[in-house]
Amino acid sequence: MKFVIHALALALPLTVTAQDKSESRELIGKVGTRSALLILNGVQRADGSWQLAGEYVILATLARRFVEGERSPELGVMVLREGTTPILFGRPPLAELRGTWRDGLYKGTRLGPGGQTREEFEFSEEFPSMENYSARVRCEAKEGRYQARLSLSVEKGQLKALDWRSVEPGGQACAVAGPEQQPMRGGLRFVAGLCRITLRDAGEFLRLSAENCAALCGAEAHIEPLLIDRRGNCELLRHGAR
């Protein structure tokens, strides 16, 4: 399987100037009765509104839907146009998510191309606590010549060991081992220098992602996110079409 959950450079490119404020948000929720994970990147305009791009993933099937749109500055009205490819510009949307964003909660109605109601949706930035999470995970995942290997041990929310390595097709590698734990609400966070590892409960899966880890990687290497199922199996979240 090929699928992606990326927090950067999705859908339309977001033009950022030195004065612009940018941010990335990750939310968990439902589209209709289906659990889903939403990742959005935003750039705030001079009038206080936000330009947005990202995607959501239906977790039961790992079906992806790319989105782009806007959020108003005061009322928090947010409209996201939906498609099946990262580039939505110039293409008719398959659906629209119309709703409001307030206090980390995005809720509303998913509409079809003709404006007909399809289903309600609700996403929240509040992920489940993992303070009592315990597991030992040892797995490998690969796609083509890209490979990743993970060894993770957590007891009651406390990290005991983590070793996460990846190898690019050209042989360049990344290696994260022995990070320290930092407090985090709605997940677990581990750091090794500037490298930040985040583990979150997304329902059907756990999501493990890495940020700012260039110092631990070869010149052209990077670490792709992983999904970990409840049996300890890992799937690679690879950049590219499913």
Residue 236 or residue 177, greater confidence: 177
Q: Pick from 124, 147, 162: which residue ends a domain?
A: 124
Residue 2 clears pLDDT 70, i.e. is over it: no
Give the domain range for residue 143: 135-236
**110 in Cβ contact with 31 (< 8 Å):** yes
Residue 121 clears pLDDT 70, i.e. is over it: yes
pLDDT at position 5, please? Answer: 39
Q: Give the model confidence (pLDDT) of 134-191 as tens digits.
A: 999 999 998 888 999 999 999 999 999 999 999 998 899 999 999 999 999 999 999 9
2 within domain boundaries: no
Q: Give the pair of three-digit tokens for residue 219.
A: 């010149």
In a shared domain, residues 58 and 143: no
177 within domain boundaries: yes
pLDDT at position 1, please? Answer: 39
DSSP state of 214: G
In a shared domain, residues 47 and 99: yes
Picking from 181, 186, 180, 168, the residue whose alpha carbon sits closest to that of residue 238 is 168
In a shared domain, residues 164 and 88: no
Q: Pick from 93, 124, 155: which residue ends a domain?
A: 124
57 within domain boundaries: yes
Q: Pick from 124, 148, 183: which residue ends a domain?
A: 124
Q: How many domains does the chain have?
A: 2
Q: How does the average pLDDT of the chain come out, rounded?
A: 87
pLDDT at position 20, please? Answer: 67
In a shared domain, residues 72 and 149: no
Residue 86 clears pLDDT 90, i.e. is over it: no
In a shared domain, residues 57 and 114: yes
15 within domain boundaries: no
Confidence of residue 200 (pLDDT cuts 50, 70, 90): very high
Residue 157 or residue 24, greater confidence: 157
218 within domain boundaries: yes
Helices (H), 67-146: none
> In angstroms, rounded to a whole number, what is the distance separating the alpha carbons of residues 169 and 147?
8
Residues in contact with 200: Cβ distance below 8 Å, sequence separation at least 6, in sequence order:
26, 28, 127, 130, 186, 187, 188, 206, 207
In a shared domain, residues 154 and 202: yes
4 within domain boundaries: no
Locus of tokens 């398959």? 94
